[in-house]
Each structure stands twice: as structure tokens, then as C-alpha cells.
Amino acid sequence: MTPTLVPLDPVQLADMSDLTEISSVPYTGNAFGTHFSALDRTIGCKFVPAQGTCYIANPPQWRSDDWCALNRNDSVADSDLIGWGNGSYNQAPQHCARQGTSGVGPDYASGSAPFEYGTKMTILLSFEDDTSVTCGSRETGLTCVLEPSAAHGFHISSTNYLTW
């Protein structure tokens, strides 16, 4: 039986007022950015000033219109990342196939500190302004929004996703 997909609303997803704020410091390494995994280890994320992406072990069905333009040599079925690519925080996140051996991948999903359900963290992306990403972890999925306005973000679960 195919699971029923619940319509996703960016305004509702971006409202993380029900989540407890935690520090991103325990998730941040020296020059390696901030990285964490979903509690069930199916998602691993890494955020640095130039880009922020999450690897999904078993991604939902991707839509081709959200595909990263830089990776057209891969098929949508190869895609295992969602987020902002190089310098693209000013646009809606997209899904991509991981390129090469560096970056976010299965190692981040299995080896990063777990991000507890019911919590959120704000990840500073720039020392020059207040640009940051806030990610929230719920049993229904992971949501990350670009701050201060939440104009762009994504939500990912095992059955569905949304980018805005």
C-alpha cells in the first residue's frame, strides 16, 4: 500500500516555535562545518558558508523540476542530496547526486552526532551578517530554513519533501 502524502505548507514547516533550541556547537568541527544526522541515521547533513546539503539514505520520489542544473549527467534516480549547492543560499534548495568522494554522503548519515526529535538549532553561515540556517528535527521529518526570513528552505521525510 502506498502511504498517503500529507500536503506540506512552507509557513507551517518554517514555524519551529514548538521545538526546543539547542546549541550547534557540539555539532560543529574545526573547519569542517556543522554536521549532524537524523535520529534514525537515514539523513546526514553538513552546513558550511558556501553550501548546505543533506544526504538521504532512502530518498522519496524526486520531482525532476527541482533537479540541480549542475548535475544533468546523472539521473533523478541517482539523486541523494537536498539543499543549497555552491553559493546558492539565495534560491530555493534543490536535489542533486553527490559528486566525487568528498562532501555529504553515507558517512555523515552514520557517523555524525544524532539530532534529537523535538529540537532545533541555528547554524551561523556568515560572520559578516546574520545569515544562518535553522534546522528542526521532528518525527515527521527534518526541516531547514534560511534565516532571517525563512524565504527559502526544505523539508524531507522518508515519503515526501518540499523545497521553497
- Taking only the tens place, the pLDDT of each residue in 61-88 is 888 777 776 655 666 666 788 998 876 7
Domain boundaries, the chain: 10-163
**Rounded-to-integer distance, Cα 25 and Cα 122, Å:** 10
Total H helices, total E strands in the chain = 2, 13
* 8-state DSSP, 67: B
pTM for the model stands at: 0.85
Instruction: Name the band, by pLDDT with cuts 50, 70 and 90, for residue 97.
Output: confident
Cα radius of gyration (the chain): 15
* 160 C-beta neighbours (distance < 10 Å), count: 17
Distance CA 63, CA 163 (A): 11
